[in-house]
C-alpha cells in the first residue's frame, strides 16, 4: 500500500508539473517581447556640454543652420546634412568636412547613434570622425560588447582597439575628446620623421593612450597575390587636413563640435 501511494504521488506531481509547463509555454514569447520593450533605450534629451573658455577655440557646429557654412560636401560642394532642433544629422549622399585645415588640435564632438536592433556589426549606426581626413575615430553602436576590436566605437579604425568599452546605449548622447599630434616631417625631403599620435577620451574615459598611427585608416585594399603596403605614411602627409564626419548609411546625430588648434611646440626658453 505504501509503495502504491508513493507511485500515485509521483504521478500526481508529474502531471501537475506538465500542466504548469503547458500553461506557461504560450506566455513565453509575450514575456520576451515585454522584456525587449522594457530594455529598449530611451532617447536622451539632455543639453550639450558647456563650451569651455579656451584661447583660440573655434566652434565648428553649435546648433545653427548657418554653422553648415563651416563645412562642405564632396568635391567642394555645399554640405547637405540636415539640421533639426540644433542637431546635425548625417544625410545622404556623402560625408562632410571642414573648410578649414588643421594640424595638431584638441577636438570635442558629441554624437548619438540610432537604435537599430535588427542590424549587425558595422551596420549598427556607423559613422566616423576623421582627423586630417586620414585617421578615423570609429563611431558605432558598440554598447555591451565585452571585447571591442579596432572596428568598434572608441577604436582608431582598423588599427587600434579601445582600451575598454566606454560606450553608452544607442540614442544616448556620447562624447569624443581627442588630442591629436600630426606627423612630423623632414622639411627638405617631406618624408615622415615622426608618426601621428592620438589620445582619445570616450564619455570621459581614456580609450586611446597616446597611440601612434602608422598609416591612414583607409589604405587601398590589397588585391589577391599583392604584397601589403608598408606600415608607414606615404609622402604628402605633411600637409594640414580637414575634420571629416562620415556618411555611412546611418542617420547618426552630432552636436556641439569645437576645436582648438594647437601650436606645434611650446617655447624653448626656461
Q: What is the CATH number of domain 40-261?
A: 2.60.120.560
> Count of CB atoms within 10 A of residue 168's CB?
18
Name the residue ranges covered by the structural domains of the chain: 2-37, 40-261
What's the confidence (pLDDT) of residue 33?
36
What's the confidence (pLDDT) of residue 229?
66
81-90: pLDDT as tens digits: 999 999 999 9
118-168: pLDDT as tens digits: 887 787 889 999 999 999 999 999 999 999 999 999 999 999 999 999 999
Computed over every residue of the chain, the mean pLDDT equals 85
The model's confidence at residue 190, banded by pLDDT at 50, 70 and 90, is confident
With 70 as the cut, is the pLDDT of residue 37 above it? no
Asked if residue 257 lies in contact with residue 79, where contact means CB atoms within 8 angstroms, the answer is no
CA–CA separation, 223 and 262 (whole Å)? 39
Q: How is residue 112 written as a grid cell?
A: 548619438
Provide the sign of the torsion angle of the four alpha carbons 220, 241, 71, 55, taken in this order. Answer: positive
Q: What is the pTM of this model?
A: 0.82
What's the confidence (pLDDT) of residue 22?
40
CA–CA separation, 263 and 69 (whole Å)? 25
Cα 184 to its chain centre, rounded Å, is 27
Amino acid at each position: 500500500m505504501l509503495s502504491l501511494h508513493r507511485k500515485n504521488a509521483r504521478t500526481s506531481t508529474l502531471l501537475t508539473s506538465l500542466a504548469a509547463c503547458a500553461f506557461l509555454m504560450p506566455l513565453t514569447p509575450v514575456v520576451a517581447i515585454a522584456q525587449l520593450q522594457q530594455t529598449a533605450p530611451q532617447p536622451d534629451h539632455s543639453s550639450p556640454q558647456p563650451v569651455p573658455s579656451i584661447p583660440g577655440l573655434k566652434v565648428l557646429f553649435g546648433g545653427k543652420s548657418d554653422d553648415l557654412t563651416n563645412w562642405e560636401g564632396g568635391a567642394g560642394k555645399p554640405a547637405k546634412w540636415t539640421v533639426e532642433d540644433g542637431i546635425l544629422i548625417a544625410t545622404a549622399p556623402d560625408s562632410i568636412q571642414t573648410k578649414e585645415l588643421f594640424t595638431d588640435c584638441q577636438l570635442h564632438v558629441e554624437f548619438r547613434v540610432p537604435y537599430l536592433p535588427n542590424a549587425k556589426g558595422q551596420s549598427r549606426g556607423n559613422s566616423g570622425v576623421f582627423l586630417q581626413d586620414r585617421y578615423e575615430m570609429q563611431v558605432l553602436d558598440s554598447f555591451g560588447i565585452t571585447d571591442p576590436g579596432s572596428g568598434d566605437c572608441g577604436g582608431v579604425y582598423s588599427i587600434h582597439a579601445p582600451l575598454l568599452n566606454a560606450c553608452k546605449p544607442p540614442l544616448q548622447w556620447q562624447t569624443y575628446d581627442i588630442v591629436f599630434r600630426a606627423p612630423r616631417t623632414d622639411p627638405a625631403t617631406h618624408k615622415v620623421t615622426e608618426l601621428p599620435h592620438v589620445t582619445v577620451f570616450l564619455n570621459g574615459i581614456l580609450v586611446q593612450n597616446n597611440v601612434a598611427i602608422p598609416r591612414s585608416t583607409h589604405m587601398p585594399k590589397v588585391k589577391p597575390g599583392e604584397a601589403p603596403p608598408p606600415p608607414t605614411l606615404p609622402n604628402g602627409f605633411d600637409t594640414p587636413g580637414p575634420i571629416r564626419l562620415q556618411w555611412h548609411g546611418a542617420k547618426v546625430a552630432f552636436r556641439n563640435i569645437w576645436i582648438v588648434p594647437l601650436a606645434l611646440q611650446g617655447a624653448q626658453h626656461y
